[in-house]
Amino acid sequence: MVVETIKESLSVNKQIATKKEVIFVEGDMIVPDSKPDILNTICTSGVVCIYKKEVLDGKVRVDGNINTYIMYIADDENDKVRGLNTTLDFSENIQISNVTEDMSCKIDTNLKSIEAKVINGRKVGIKAAIEISIKVYSNEIVAIVNSIPESDGIYTLKESLNVNSLVGEGENKIYAKDTININIEDNLAEILKTGVEIKNKDIKVSYNKILTKADANVKIMYLTEDNRIGKIDGNIPVVGFIDIPEVTETNICDINYEIRNIIIKPNSQEEHSIYVEIEIEVLASVYEEKEISLIQDLYSPVENLEFNKRKITTIREKKSSKDILEIREKINLEDMGDKSIIDVDVFPMIEKEHIEENKIIYEGELELKFLLTNNDLQVDTRNVKVPFDYSLDNVENKEDVVNSIEVMVKNSDFIVQEGGIVNANIDLEMINNSYKTSNINVIDEIDKTGEREEEDYSIIMYIVKKGDTLWKIAKMFGSTVDDIARANGIEDENIIMPGQKIFIPHYTKVPVSTNV
């Protein structure tokens, strides 16, 4: 006979797997007939776009491209600076053994390196290394038995636990479009270099919606028709709504931005401007903090019960924090001569992490790529690496704590002093996300399998053993915690000592509370 139970639902969004893998993308580019031959390359840059991702059994498939720009010295009598633009497509299957096609994933990419090698005057070979970070999630709705009607005469042992239950997930595709003006005296010849980064991420919750706000920071270097190099830096608002029913201001929101496609080109409708369009997919996962009451054990003094327990893994104490790490460094760029800095790319990378007591120590490195030029348009590049470390305090040193950190460049400023000394002032935004995992026992259906064999005694003496509780003793003898405590004058039901003599009264059908 199945016992009537009261259940509540818990939505468990569990991180199944994480993986970082570096993939290599290679391709050749033929110089268009409208461009002069290449003498040598100056620098190569790119922005990674992921336009498709798919979780399959045992792997994650990622399709994307690298929007690539090459600055080069033209093989002509003036050795002019010119630019090339191409797209490198890639498709990669990343093996992750324990994932299945019903799961979802989030992806972050980092272009670790990209270089162009001149094969001949009309052909360039490009090779890039992309670090792909994947997090795979499964979502399961679990029905938890948390109560039994008192009329059934079943005694339950309960435990309360605060967990983070998934409220819902959603996504939105946002097209961030704008026209960025260049200097009025500049007549645009071609684009030499671009960079796109999502910054200043923020959210606001209202009316069952999440308002996502961010800036697409766009940096563009261009060549003018009179052979000068110009640079512009602008922010394009990235604003959109994600509909998630029952979301409230008290919920915790995880937001992930993925760049899917980029269009950057001279504006054909308006002089002295560049048209920018960025397709961005925004994904949201929303959690609520929920107190659940779990039945850990149960019995009936008069009937035999059968039930199964199964373990599920859920998360709790989910939180996020932000901090600013200030890096102030003096960098010696020797032999600058009459050259000045026209651009610096800053790439932060976490190399190692380890736990010391209640701290997580992150060791990282800033890769600074300087681009220098003079009035004669002689261009030079310098690469400098600056180590840094960051500690996250008050972190519990436990295996069930999961921490992840995201590093973004908030601000950067470079001031050149005499002798080629550069004061580098860089602010890194350190975004830390953490949660704890909990393995909890969940009881499935409960069956009554007949009357319990009645013991022929009215009272018995029992000597407490190590690990005993009044609950275990009452269940063993078919008595109740209340009856045993009352018979032995025990005031605190949680305190009994090994070796203590306890009298066990026979169960009598006197109405008592059934929840312990």
CATH of the domain at 498: 3.10.350.10
Assign 296 a pLDDT band (cuts: 50, 70, 90): confident
Q: Are residues 380 and 399 in the same domain?
A: yes
pLDDT on residue 514: 43
Q: Are residues 40 and 120 in the same domain?
A: yes
pLDDT tens digits, one per residue of 50-72: 999 999 999 999 999 999 999 99
Domain enclosing residue 461, as ranges: 457-516
Burial class (CB in 10 A: 0-12, 13-18, 19+), 485: middle
In a domain, 77, yes or no: yes
What is the overall mean pLDDT for the chain? Answer: 89
As for how many domains the chain has, the answer is 4
pLDDT on residue 516: 45
pLDDT tens digits, one per residue of 81-131: 999 999 999 999 999 998 999 999 999 999 999 999 999 999 999 999 999
pLDDT on residue 63: 97
> If you average pLDDT over residues 141-156, what whole number do you get?
79
Q: Which of 497, 502, 500 is nearest to 477 (CA)?
A: 502
Q: Provide the H-helix boundaries in 305-456.
A: none
Span of 231-235, 265-269, 313-317, 504-508 with lowest mean pLDDT: 504-508
In a domain, 452, yes or no: no
Return phi, psi of residue 56, to 5°. Answer: -120, 175
Q: Are residues 489 and 397 in the same domain?
A: no
What residues contact residue 495 under an 8 Å CB cut-off, 6+ apart? Answer: none
Q: Are residues 214 and 198 in the same domain?
A: yes
> If you average pLDDT over residues 314-331, what whole number do you get?
92
